[in-house]
Amino acid sequence: MRSATLGHIPNLPEKFGEEFALELFKRANFNRHFEYKVKEAAEKKLFTIPIYLSIGTEFNAAVFSMMLQGYKIFGQHRCHSIYLSFGGKPEALRDELLGLETGCSRGMSGSNAIQAPEANMFGHSGLMGEQVPIACGAAFASREPCLTICGDASVEEDYIYPSLGWAATEKLPMIFVCEDNDLSILTKVSVRRNWSPANVAASMGIPAVDIADDPWVIAYHLETMKENLPGFLNIRSVRHLWHAGTGVDDVPEWDRYQLTTAAMEKLGLKSKMSVIEDENKERAHAIWADCLED
């Protein structure tokens, strides 16, 4: 079932067009270069806290931020790219990892519980899945749209099923995302369960899809779902690094970054992407230069 082409829809890059692709690239590419700097800083032991890098899933965050502008965000750990894509200040994230008062949570949350008030992104307490009912409560109370993101492990938590049911009953303006990397730390989904979160959501009357992390396919479904909320996406993704830390478990099942940039190059965007990448590299470098060069 897991594959890089699950739910593939042909010709979507062309349909969404050049401008969409370049903005998508700009956001995802900056996420990646920022994360490279975090990795470098961790390896230089500028901080020793647990870090949850989003290398491999940058395009998920980038496409959410493009399609779900104005949404309130309730994420989990591994949310650096979400934070950055939705407009969280990168300097405040850097400072948070460094444990500084100028961090996005004044050093109280580290890597896994970050918030970005400027981007309507709420903090996560560390209890996996807890963000889902909290997002539902926020959507109910404000009647404003909310995005909540959990993983393939936290979707098994007791918080989820009743939240989906309540969202369906109350027709809450919610997008639920399960970013499914097939791993609970290192235990595979097939070891833990025989059911599909998308089927559970669908059984409650929530429009649901089970797709790979192709950003254009995600964009296509979000565009449709936004017209009839709530909606649920199980997105098969691949994290390239350890659950926590900078190491590598194995060769990635697929490399979404490479697949997506290749598709963008087919649109004839290579030279423009190169310019964007240079700018992003420079920006990430400038943000981290002082502490990495000291």
Partner 1 sequence: MTLAETIQDITRNHLENNNGLLFGQCVTAVGWIGGTVPDCKNIVEIPMTDVAGPGFAVGAALMNRRPIFVVRYQGFMWYNCSSLVNYAAKSKQVWGVPVPVFIRSIGMEGNGIGHTASSCLHSIFMHPPGLPVAVPMTPNEYREVWNYFLEHDDPIYVSEHRKSFTNSEEFEDEVYEDADITIIALSMGRMNALEAKKILNEKGIKANLFHQLWLKPFKPKKDMLKALNQTKLGLVVDSDFEITGASRSIAYELMHQTDASVHALGLEDRVCGVASHLENITPSPEKIATIVVELVSNVKRGHHSKV
Residues engaged in binding partner 1 (CB under 8 A): 105-106, 108-109, 113, 115, 117, 122-123, 125-127, 130, 132-142, 158-160, 162-163, 165-166, 169
Choose between 137 and 207: whose C-beta lies nearer to partner 1.
Answer: 137
Q: CB of residue 95 vs partner 1: minimum separation in angstroms?
A: 15
Residue appearing with tokens 């964009």: 219
Q: CB of residue 269 vs partner 1: minimum separation in angstroms?
A: 38
Choose between 108 and 262: whose C-beta lies nearer to partner 1.
Answer: 108
Choose between 59 and 122: whose C-beta lies nearer to partner 1.
Answer: 122
196 HSE (CA, 13 A, CB side): 15
Choose between 136 and 276: whose C-beta lies nearer to partner 1.
Answer: 136
Phi-psi region of 110 (alpha: psi -120 to 50; beta: other; left: phi over 0): left
Gyration radius of the chain's alpha carbons: 18
Q: How far apart are CA 43 and CA 47, in angstroms?
A: 9
Choose between 30 and 159: whose C-beta lies nearer to partner 1.
Answer: 159
Choose between 28 and 155: whose C-beta lies nearer to partner 1.
Answer: 155
Q: CB of residue 140 vs partner 1: minimum separation in angstroms?
A: 7
Choose between 38 and 138: whose C-beta lies nearer to partner 1.
Answer: 138
The 8-class DSSP code of residue 53 comes to -
Is 27 within 8 Å of 62 (Cβ atoms)? yes
Q: With H, G, I as helix, E, B as strand and everything else as coil, classify residue 54.
A: coil
Helix H or strand E encompassing 177: strand 174-180
Q: 147 - beta bridge partners? A: 73, 175
Q: How far apart are CA 7 and CA 210, in angstroms?
A: 7
Q: CB of residue 159 vs partner 1: minimum separation in angstroms?
A: 5
Q: CB of residue 163 vs partner 1: minimum separation in angstroms?
A: 5
Q: CB of residue 98 vs partner 1: minimum separation in angstroms?
A: 17
Indicate the angle between helix axes 12-43 and 215-225, nearest 10 degrees: 110
Is 282 within 8 Å of 34 (Cβ atoms)? no
Among 143, 199, 209, 203, which Cα is nearest to 170's?
Answer: 143
Choose between 136 and 264: whose C-beta lies nearer to partner 1.
Answer: 136
Q: CB of residue 17 vs partner 1: minimum separation in angstroms?
A: 36
Q: How far apart are CA 3 and CA 279, in angstroms?
A: 32
Q: CB of residue 293 vs partner 1: minimum separation in angstroms?
A: 31
Residue 207 preceded by cis peptide, ω within 30:
no
Is 280 within 8 Å of 87 (Cβ atoms)? no
